[in-house]
Amino acid sequence: MRIGGFLVALGACCVASSGYAAEVTTIPKIQGLGHVSPLDGKVVRFEGVVTQIRDKTFFVQDPIGDGNHLTSDGILVRREPVGLQIGDVVRVEGSVEEQSGGFGEFSTTTVTRSIFTKIGSGAIPTPVTIGASGRKPPTEVIVSATGSFDPERSGADFFETLEGMLVTIAEPIVVGPLAKKSNAFYVVADRGANATGMNSLGGITATPGDANPERIRVQIGKPFVPANFLVSVGDQFSRLGGVVITDGGSYGIQLQSHAEYVPKVWQFPPVETQPSADVLTIASYNVENLDAKVEEPAKVPSTDDVDDDVGAKKFAAVADHIVKLLGAPDVVALQEVQDDDGGELSDEVGAEKTLRTLTDAISAAGGPAYQAVSLNPVDDAEGGQPGGNIRLAYLVNPQRAVVDANLAKRIGDPSFERTRLPLALPLKFHGTEVMIINVHFSSKSGSDPLYGTIQPPKDSTGLIRIGQARAVREFIRSLPADGRRSVVIVGDFNTFWYEEPLLLLTGGMPDLRNMALDNEPLDRVSYTFQGNSQSLDHALVLLGEGQSAEMRTLHVNSVLPEEKQISDHDPKLLSITFKR
């Protein structure tokens, strides 16, 4: 456009390929059919109604559309919306560009290097309803295996047809609590009535072949702030409104309106069983970078690495979970215990102070005087937060089990490079040996996004975890024969119950039993990631003669917003009954 007064009002503005005349078109024609605009790289001119305003960008929607539900009527304009209000009719000129937030993520069709002018006011388009009374998203397939554009079956394609458009999510239920860093939570429409994989907690569980494309990410920004939306799994709204965006590796909405919020009242009943002479109880708990030091800012890479677990009463809260909810188990297997100076970059590797602070907190909460058992890692060689030297550790009640800390052993293998080595600890319970192996396999971090251009998404450490499972299996095979011995593997496997590392350990020799399989498939959960309830923490057992076992997961963290979590994992409690 060449409108002199307009350019003066906004200042100089560059439009890509300014030597060429802009193509006069419509938003639906810019969006086209599919994930990439047929006008990508072209300079275009179009008109529409402003539907949402952000700090540096705004959304525009064609008030009439083209009548084709396979093409979107909305688009994102990257230009500071000076003087604009929702409902303004604007003429925009700029360059069409497909922009992606990260490698492998689907792109967003945007108009960049743009100028605009207000030409009037108009009615805001009626939002498209997502739900049974409008358009229902697919429930199983995220990206079509054929590569064809199929909004009826592919979740990514379905939401692409709504990119940049105003929508209303009907009767949403929260399936992923608010994450602090991203300021986002996840919902499904219709209280989950038309979703597959809804579990008894009110969340939605990832299962083989079903990554739940009906999950919708709700991104919070101005004028809303996260404090208004400390939502938990199971919370409900009558509706949520916003504009469909691609962000954080998934599709969702930029929140614009909400109505009738009804929170779920979460109660966490304690384990009611009393200690029994014939029952050994073993808990497993990832305590998420627990340390007793307030890091000095000059000694950490970023101020984000400074925390105060003592001042924030995290030690007291973990102690309450162990004593009052888990019933002061005979053994507690811990993951992610940091060294004594936390995330500071130093030569410190010991965790005596960290563990003593925890055992003191447990005693103050009315628990037993636990004996801590841990072996130091190699400095900065086993992953986790830089400088933190996270490791595996045990708390053992010496009044209930006999343990010799000198017999603790780390299981070494090349597959554990840059990862925590498993910690094996034999103990005696009424004269019978119990070999406990505490694991923290390699994280799935760095894997391809579920909503991504790389399909099927690659698990970046899947082969590594298979090697780690094999190393643990070989250690068990090397144990001397003992028909009365119990072997227990607990911890954070970073592996779903149906993936190969766990299948290696629960099939063949030794034939361990995954206690999670006693639960219904949809309730095998201990962690929530991007709205998907998942099973990363497990308890595997190889029982001796005359022994039986049961396990329960206490969902005290994964259902809550990050601000209210003690850890991002739920603890597990295993009970083994011995025949005397």
pLDDT tens-digit readout, 541-568? 999 999 999 999 999 999 999 999 999 9
Indicate whether 266 belongs to any domain: no
Any domain includes 265: no
pLDDT at res. 20? 63
- Listed in order, strand segments (DSSP E) in 30-179 are 43-53, 58-61, 74-77, 88-99, 108-121, 128-130, 166-170, 173-179
Q: Enumerate residue ranges in the chain where pLDDT < 50.
A: 1-18
> In 10 A of CB 430, how many CB atoms?
12
In a domain, 268, yes or no: no
Residue 271 lies in a domain: no
Model pLDDT, residue 12 = 33
Identity of residue 431: G
Do residue 115 and residue 136 come from a single domain? no
Identify the H or E element spanning 219. strand 216-219
Domain that holds residue 86: 4-121
Q: What is the pLDDT of residue 275?
A: 77
Exposed e or buried b per residue across 458-483, where buried means at least 16 C-beta atoms within 10 angstroms of its C-beta:
ebebbebbbbbbebbbebbeeeeeee
pLDDT score recorded for residue 571: 98
Counted domains in the chain = 3
The angle at the Cα of 294, spanning 290 to 298, to the nearest 5 degrees, equals: 120
Q: Are residues 339 and 435 in the same domain?
A: yes
Which pLDDT tens digit goes with each residue over 416-433? 999 999 999 999 999 999
Residue 492 in any domain: the answer is yes
Tell me, yes or no, whether 539 and 453 share the same domain.
yes
For residues 77 and 158, membership in a common domain is answered with no
pTM: 0.93
| Domain-embedded: residue 450 | yes
Same domain as 290, residue 253? no
